[in-house]
């Protein structure tokens, strides 16, 4: 990331979630447990999809990348958070702080685009089932994934580059448990208006494109489902989309609440609660959301555990 321009700050202090020694131990135990479940759940999902040939479909191809993103951006945040809770050392270097922020935002933005690709996949599967295997080709799926990563990492690079022009001189204390955009903008002793505009435009673009794609897809899906005459057919179609809709609602709800607002409206308590939820809890929930009600995943797990999965 390079050394920041016009700044006397060489490192930041992450104040974390609490100053209470007892609460820090409680949070450490809780976050460690959540992180272990996150790693096992997402890594297990990736491995299961890789091992079972019946899960080699576009839907599970996207789901494996969702698990990879959840595992990755959780890992960007959790180890440092756990270290800060367990030790009294709360310093993070300037480069380390901006590197953490860059990868976290990039991975989270990639997930936004990926969720819209998953919605499009469900649209094709329900509205054009006869052409699904032809339309959702391997080439198209890989192109959607590649585009998601490229757009997200490029946008975040522009954001970090814009923040690189800020001047930090009065304080280096971040009232947060990781290097996020809002608490860092609050520390700037120069006008951050242009940076805020850049963040709002690029973040808004990601949200609008993703949410619009999801909304249009589900309007078409709902229209198609309502035309299905059999109750069992409607139930099956709704069941196919329920997990994705739940995941989308939770993820976008916390992201929009956190990011699409001026830094002056930053509230320490509310920001930290929502940040804990989307950075630590959601990556743990996604494998549960997408697998608990999914018979294909359960059956694949049984086959793998019984060592009936084909060699790859």
Q: Is residue 82 part of a domain?
A: yes
Q: Is residue 132 part of a domain?
A: yes
Count of other CB atoms within 10 angstroms of residue 69: 25
Q: Is residue 98 part of a domain?
A: yes
Q: Is residue 91 part of a domain?
A: yes
Number of domains in the chain: 1
Range of the domain at 169: 11-305
301: which residues sit within 8 A by CB, 6+ positions away? 48
Split at pLDDT 50, 70, 90, the class of 6 is: very low
Q: Is residue 201 part of a domain?
A: yes
The DSSP result for the chain, as a single string, is --PPTT---SEEEE--S---HHHHHHHHHHHHHHHHHHHHHHHHHHHHHHH-GGG-SHHHHHHHHHHHHHHHHHHHHHHHHHHHHHSS--EEEHHHHHHHHHHHHHHHHHHHHHHHHHHHHHHHHHHSGGGHHHHS-HHHHHHHHHHHHHHHHHHHHHHHHHHTT----S--EESSSS--HHHHHHH-SS--HHHHHHHHHHHHHHHHHHHHHHHHHHHHHHHHHHT--SHHHHHHHHHHHHHHHHHHHHHHHHHHHHHSS-GGG--HHHHHHHHHIIIIIHHHHHHHHHHTT-HHHHHHHHHHHTT-SPP-
Split at pLDDT 50, 70, 90, the class of 225 is: confident
Given this model, what pLDDT does residue 267 score? 52
Q: Is residue 287 part of a domain?
A: yes
Q: Mean of the pLDDT values across residues 219-245? A: 82
| More confident of the two residues 88 and 92 | 92
Q: Mean of the pLDDT values across residues 231-254? A: 80
Note the pLDDT tens digit of each residue in 252-272.
Answer: 877 766 655 555 555 555 667
Q: Is residue 312 part of a domain?
A: no
Q: Is residue 6 part of a domain?
A: no
Given this model, what pLDDT does residue 33 score? 95
Note the pLDDT tens digit of each residue in 275-308.
Answer: 888 888 889 988 888 876 677 787 777 877 776 5
* CATH, residue 69: 1.20.1070.10
Say if pTM beats, i.e. exceeds, 0.75. yes
Residue 275 phi, psi dihedral angles, 5° rounding = -70, -40
Given this model, what pLDDT does residue 298 score? 77
């Amino acid at each position: 990331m390079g050394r920041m321009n016009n700044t006397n700050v060489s490192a930041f202090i992450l104040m974390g979630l609490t100053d209470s020694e007892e609460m820090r131990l409680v949070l450490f135990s809780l976050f460690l447990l959540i992180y272990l479940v996150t790693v096992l759940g997402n890594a297990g999902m990736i491995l299961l999809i890789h091992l079972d040939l019946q899960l080699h479909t576009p839907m599970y191809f996207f789901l494996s990348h969702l698990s990879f993103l959840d595992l990755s951006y959780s890992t960007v945040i959790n180890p440092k958070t756990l270290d800060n809770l367990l030790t009294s050392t709360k310093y993070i270097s300037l480069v380390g702080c901006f590197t953490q922020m860059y990868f976290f935002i990039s991975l989270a933005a990639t997930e936004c685009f990926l969720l819209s690709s998953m919605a499009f996949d469900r649209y094709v599967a329900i509205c054009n089932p006869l052409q699904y295997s032809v339309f959702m080709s391997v080439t198209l799926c890989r192109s959607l994934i590649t585009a998601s990563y490229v757009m997200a990492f490029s946008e975040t690079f522009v954001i970090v580059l814009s923040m690189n022009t800020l001047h930090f001189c009065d304080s280096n204390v971040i009232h947060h448990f990781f290097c996020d955009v809002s608490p860092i903008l609050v520390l700037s002793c120069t006008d951050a208006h242009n940076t805020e505009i850049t963040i709002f435009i690029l973040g808004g673009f990601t949200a609008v494109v993703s949410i619009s794609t999801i909304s249009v897809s589900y309007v078409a899906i709902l229209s198609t489902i309502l035309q299905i005459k059999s109750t069992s057919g409607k139930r099956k179609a709704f069941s196919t989309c329920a997990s994705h809709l739940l995941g989308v609602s939770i993820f976008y709800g916390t992201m929009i609440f956190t990011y699409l607002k001026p830094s002056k409206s930053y509230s320490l308590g509310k920001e930290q609660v929502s940040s804990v939820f989307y950075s630590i809890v959601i990556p743990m929930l996604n494998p549960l959301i997408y697998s608990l009600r999914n018979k294909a995943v359960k059956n694949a797990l049984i086959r793998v555990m019984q060592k009936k999965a084909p060699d790859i």
